[in-house]
Amino acid sequence: MGQASIGLVSRTDSAEALNIANTILRYLHEKGVKWCVEKETANVLKLHEKAVPLNEMDADVIVVIGGDGTLLRAFKNIPKASRPILGIRVGRSGFLSDIMPENALQAIEEVLKGNYQVEVRARLRVTVNDKVTDALNEALITSSRPAKVIGVKVLTDNTLIFEGWLDGVIFATTTGATGYALSANGPVVDPDLDVIVMVPINPLNLSLRPFVISINKRLSLKLVEPSPPANIIVDGYSFLNVGVKETVNIFKSPQPATFLRLHAYRRDFYEKLREIRMRMT
């Protein structure tokens, strides 16, 4: 791609993340690489002349400095013809980012040389009427009233998968299976599989279990009378509210997420999983 141009996004509430950002930008400047910075990050770094809103960033590679939360937020806002992302991990939870802070500069160097692989991860498209969004980790449909269960039906085509009263339902991608779905008793899913993990949360029906479903199925969820309305939360952010007349559709998004992976810094999935399983708080 000639020499790649770089866009940069960082957590703005972490001195460590901002330091790494500065170091990288200085390096890019010295090397004469074309770069720009996401607006909010640029504000904090006082680089106003380089500021670009995330959804207009026209860089070949986007570098995200932060934890999984920062990465999920970046993916929400990157324009549709989505750019590959390189994650540099600063923060407690970093399943999506393989690069540790101490390797940040070498990683950028490898990327500029073109020494990387592109990894494509499926996202779930969530639609309600004409509203559309994509989930990299999960969509959560949850009661809008604390401690009041919602009543739901989940179907694929015209087949009922289950019906029940519960706190909520998680629809996770393979990528998201190690996140909220795992805390809610979902299984671990090997990254080579492309599936939907559907987890009923605290169901009245004690015999309900998590479901693993082909990502090629189209799922729909409806609330049943007299359910209170529900919130849809996508990758941790509120998407919209639905009532008993509406249908939530969930299916494989035509726009997957793409990550840059560097051979030298690749961390094994099951190794990262053991880290998660070790955390005590």
Question: Which residue numbers are catalytic?
Answer: 68
Q: Which is nearer to a second copy, 142 or 247 (CB)?
A: 142
Q: Contact between 183 and a second copy (CB under 8 A)?
A: yes
Reported as half-sphere exposure (CB side, CA atoms, 13 A), residue 276 has a value of: 18
What's the token pair of residue 216? 């090629």
Evaluate the omega torsion of the peptide bond into residue 101 and state whether it is cis, within 30 degrees of 0. Answer: no
229 binding a second copy? (CB under 8 A): no
Does position 276 interact with a second copy (CB under 8 A)? The reply is: yes
Which residue, 97 or 174, is less far from a second copy as judged by CB?
A: 174
Element (H, E) at 71: helix 68-77
Verify binding: residue 265, a second copy, rule CB under 8 A: no
Instruction: Return the DSSP state at 81.
Output: S
From 30, 160, 225, 263, residue interacting with a second copy (rule: CB under 8 A): 160
Closer by beta carbon to a second copy, 31 or else 266: 266
Q: How far apart are CA 64 and CA 61, in angstroms?
A: 10
Give the binding range for a second copy (CB under 8 A) out of 47-55, 80-88, 99-107, 153-161.
153-161
Please name the residue that has the structure tokens 């160097």.
109
Closer CB to a second copy, 132 or 193, in the complex: 193
Residue from 26, 48, 113, 209 in contact with a second copy (CB under 8 A):
209
User: How are beta strands 51-52 and 35-38 bridged, if at all?
Assistant: parallel
Instruction: Please state, in angstroms and rounded to a whole number, the distance separating the CA atoms of residues 46 and 63.
Output: 18
| Residues 172/137, Cβ–Cβ less than 8 Å | yes
Is residue 189 at the binding interface for a second copy, with CB under 8 A as the rule? yes
Q: What is the number of residues in the chain?
A: 281
Asked if 185 is part of the footprint of a second copy (rule: CB under 8 A), the reply reads: yes
201 sits near a second copy (criterion: CB under 8 A): yes
Question: Closest CB to a second copy among 100 and 188?
Answer: 188
**Quick check: 206 binds a second copy (CB under 8 A)?**
yes
Closer to a second copy by Cβ: residue 125 or 272: 272
Please report which helix (H) or strand (E) contains residue 45, including its range: helix 39-45
Tally of CA atoms within 13 A in the half-sphere of 253 that contains its CB: 25
Handedness of CA 33, 38, 43, 45 (dihedral sign): negative
Binding residues for a second copy, how many (CB under 8 A)?
59
Q: Does 122 bind a second copy (CB under 8 A)?
A: no
* Residues ≥6 apart with Cβ < 8 Å to 19: none
Residue 126 and residue 132 in contact, taking contact as beta carbons nearer than 8 Å: yes
Q: Two tokens at 250? A: 């969930």
Write each residue from 237 to 256 as x if it is in contact with a second copy (CB under 8 A), else as -, in one continuous string.
-x------------------
Residue 190 sits in the site that holds a second copy (CB under 8 A): yes
Residues that bind a second copy (CB under 8 A): 140, 142, 146-148, 151, 159-167, 180, 182-190, 192-193, 195, 197, 201-214, 216-217, 231, 233, 236, 238, 268, 270-271, 274, 276-281
